[in-house]
Structure 1
Amino acid sequence: MATSELPRAVFAMNPVHLPELFPPRLMARLTALARIDPALVVQDFAEPAMAGPLAEAEVLITGWGCPRVDEAVLTATPRLRTVLHAAGSVRNLIAPEVWERGVSVSSAVRANALPVAEFTLAAILLSGKDAFGLRHRFRTENAFPPPADLAAVGNLGRRVGIIGASRVGRRLLELLRPFDFAVTLYDPYVDAGEAAALGAVLLPLDELMRTSDIVSLHAPDIPETYRMLDRRRLSLMPDGSVLVNTSRGALVDPDALTDELVSGRIGAVLDVTEPEPLPADSPLYRLPNVFLTPHIAGSLGNELERLGRTVVDELALLGAGAPLAHAVRQADLVNSA
């Protein structure tokens, strides 16, 4: 394809992410597939200096920090035909008008799901060994615990409940297969046969909460899931069980969770919270039964290249006239992130 025939593309994101999303070799491939200025990154669609490039743009390559793509942006980009998002969910990024105008949308949400599932697998394995609690005890007592105190520790037959057969949830279910876990799943859009194919036994949510040693959240943040783990459901968790949340803090009642954790009845691995970050005086920073991380489960550092690679692969398909591999339809957002 002649250079003049390549689609015109524009970056729209926080430029701090650009070098990790598109390191030199990948940027070279991208610039061979589209006419794009690597030094031009839109952060404000209304900025006068961006009017010219946006008027010519056929493809927007978006990422974290991109303003919402709405009717005003469509007016500024009359030639726009595709948005390629080098990050996860487009729920809060793409306005309905974009799909209504026939603009295709793609997201690297599947690529971003991989490190989240890996992080969650690690959290489950370490929780089953009580690694976080025993680490605290080891630091304070400077002695090995007696065998009698380790009787309930271990991952053989550990009951793991997965809430949500999302992209992360499904990848996690794959990663759990080699281990000797008893895996259950709650998802209102999955039947027993599909759950079995995923390697899990389908259960109602209350039953899953009641029968799991480790509960891992992977449901989308939508109105139907707001506070789905409320005080009553958290109280169903067995004594000594662990909640892992790498999804969104809004899915859990924060006051009820704090009360349960302060009591010491259950433990938690929390990569997300509400609010985020927690106030400096939150007891969750200091509790020995809480392992708190600063929203790191998703793509970070060299993992960002996987997101950029997804976008470049989509751009190659676009140039070949082939369907996008990771297209997002407006209807997909009803029950997903």
Structure 2
Amino acid sequence: MSAPRPRVGIVVTAAGRRRYFFPEHVARLERSADVVWLELEGPDRVFGPPPQDPALAARVAEFARDLDAIVVSYGCPRITDDIMAAAPRLRLIGDTHGDRFAARVDVDAAHRRGIVVSDTTNGSSDPVAEWALALALIGLRNAGALFRRLVAGELLWPDRTVFLEDPGYLHGELTGKTVGLIALGNVGRRLLELLRPFHVRVLACDPGAPDVLANAYDIDLTSLDNVLERSDVVISLVPLTQATAGMIGAEQIARLRPGSVFVNVSRGAVVDTEALVERLRQGDIIACLDVVEPEPLSIDSPLRTMPNVFLSPHIAGVTDAAEPRFFEYMVDDVERVLAGVRPRYRLVPREPSSS
């Protein structure tokens, strides 16, 4: 007698299902499991913490009762220990849009129960890494300032000797430079791949990165101060948490070497905006920012008019090609777990003492 087919449940708003859960990936999952849906009301994207709704949580607990895996996304309440207790067959909890912060899943409770947790927010990592590289190149060529002058109708080089003093001339090539990365998550590791043809030296600050990454990627793991002081380009990739909010403050910004480029594609609140503005007023660094604090950027912000600032409106990870990947990667991980293989995008308890 053959074993019963696994049962996989998906909890998401109806709008989110239409936007992110592409039929071809659902069909692939259906080849290895019975797939059931709990569609909720709400938009395709929901910002902020998951809803605290006891009635909704009870609906999810009932829905999960006979599931082997549950995939959650926008609109779903937090998957608590009580919900897990109601689902004795549960082997995997997957979040397609959790930003790897476990807001929708009690990872500690899942760990205690032997339930694997996976988060595939890294579906947007590739375009973020690409835009980080692009911003580094834009900054090194001083392209933001040159663009401003061109569209303003200026004749840029009435005297060609002026060109010899332009930062884009003096520091314009990425090849052979030292690049500092702040964090080595999915975006950082993809960026390391993109940087290889430029033969750069990479300094990386990530206290959670295992030493084996240094050999695997031929990089040097070091302190934040070293990254800031010794890099020609510094790229912030760190997620926003209580520990990282404001971590790049006035003291850190002062350590950036003259002539360097600072790129931020992480979160604006990681950086002290006022301190960055003050350093930029000195005119000796260039900033290329996809994120700022606050967002949207105020109309009177000096960042809008500074010649040594290039801005983009928080679009690094927002591409049409990225949207199918969130669930595509989740299907990969569901298939792995159902086959007895460790998932690639696993979340583990943050505290080492968690049992």
Relative to the length of structure 2, the TM-score reads: 0.79
Contact between 2:12 and 2:39, CA under 8 Å: does it hold in 1?
no
Q: CA offset at residue 14 of structure 1? A: 4.2
1:234 aligned residue: 253
Match of 1:208 in 2: 227
2:265: which partner in 1? 246
1:41 Cα deviation from its structure 2 partner = 4.4
- Mapped partners of 1:7, 1:218: distance in 2: 38
What is aligned with 2:35?
Answer: 36
Instruction: Check conservation: 1:114, 1:168, Cα contact below 8 A.
Output: yes
The residue aligned with 2:148 is 136
Q: Tell me whether 1:218 sits opposite 2:237 in the alignment.
A: yes
**Aligned with residue 218 of structure 2, among 191, 195, 199:** 199
Tell me which of 81, 93, 115 is aligned to 1:71: 81
Asked if 1 retains the 8 angstrom alpha-carbon contact of 2:6 and 2:33, the reply is yes
**For residues 50 and 180 of structure 1, what CA distance do their matches in structure 2 show?**
51
Give the TM-score of the pair, scaled to structure 1: 0.83
Q: Do the aligned partners of 1:191 and 1:202 also contact (CA within 8 Å) in 2?
A: no
8 Å CA contact retained: 1:165, 1:187: yes
Between the aligned partners of 2:93 and 2:240, the Cα distance in structure 1 is: 22
> SS of the counterpart of 1:216?
strand
- Among candidates 52, 57, 82, match of residue 92 of structure 2: 82
Shift of 1:329: 1.9
Alignment counterpart, residue 127 of structure 2, candidates 86, 99, 115: 115
Between the two proteins, what is the percent identity of the paired residues? 33
Q: Deviations along 1:49-99, whole A, 9 cap, x unmatched?
A: 656434343322123454322235435645433112223414323222232
Amino acid at match of 1:18: R
Identify the structure with the greater helix proportion: 1
1:277 is matched with which residue: 296, 308, 322? 296
Q: Which structure 1 segments of 5+ residues have no match? A: none
CA–CA distance in structure 2, aligned partners of residues 262 and 15 of structure 1: 48
Task: Work out whether residues 177 and 199 of structure 1, in 8 Å CA contact, stay in contact via their aligned partners in 2.
Answer: no
Q: Which residue of 2 aligns with 1:151?
A: 169
CA distance in 1, matches of 2:199, 2:342: 40
For the residue of structure 1 that corresponds to 2:262, the secondary structure is: strand
How far is the alpha carbon of 1:238 from its aligned partner?
Answer: 2.6
Unaligned runs of 5+ in 2: 43-50
Give, in angstroms, the shift of residue 201 of structure 1: 3.9
The answer for the alignment partner of 1:127 in structure 2 is: 139
- Give a deviation string over 1:285-306, Cα, whole Å, max 9, x none: 4433333333322253221212
Quote the offset at 1:215 in angstroms. Answer: 0.6
- Following the alignment from structure 1 to structure 2, what is the Cα–Cα distance between the partners of residues 89 and 273? 21
Aligned residues: 332
What is residue 11 of structure 1 aligned with on the other side?
10
Cα displacement (A) at 1:131 = 1.8
For the Cα contact (< 8 Å) 2:124–2:318, is it kept in 1? Answer: yes
Change (3 A) 1:275 1:68: farther
Go from structure 1 to structure 2 and tell me whether the alpha carbon gap of 1:328 and 1:74 turns closer, same or farther (over 3 Å shift).
Answer: same
* C-alpha distance in 2 between matches for 1:116 and 1:63: 21
Distance change >3 Å, CA 14–CA 199, structure 1 → 2: farther
Q: Which residue identity is paired with 2:20?
A: L
Whole-angstrom distance in 2 between the partners of 1:129 and 1:85: 40
* Partner AA of 1:13 in structure 2: V
Q: Could you tell me whether the CA contact under 8 Å between 2:40 and 2:75 is conserved in 1?
A: no
8 Å contact from structure 1 (residues 10, 41) kept in 2: no
Matched, 1:100 2:119: no
Aligned equivalents of 1:101, 1:228: Cα separation in 2: 35
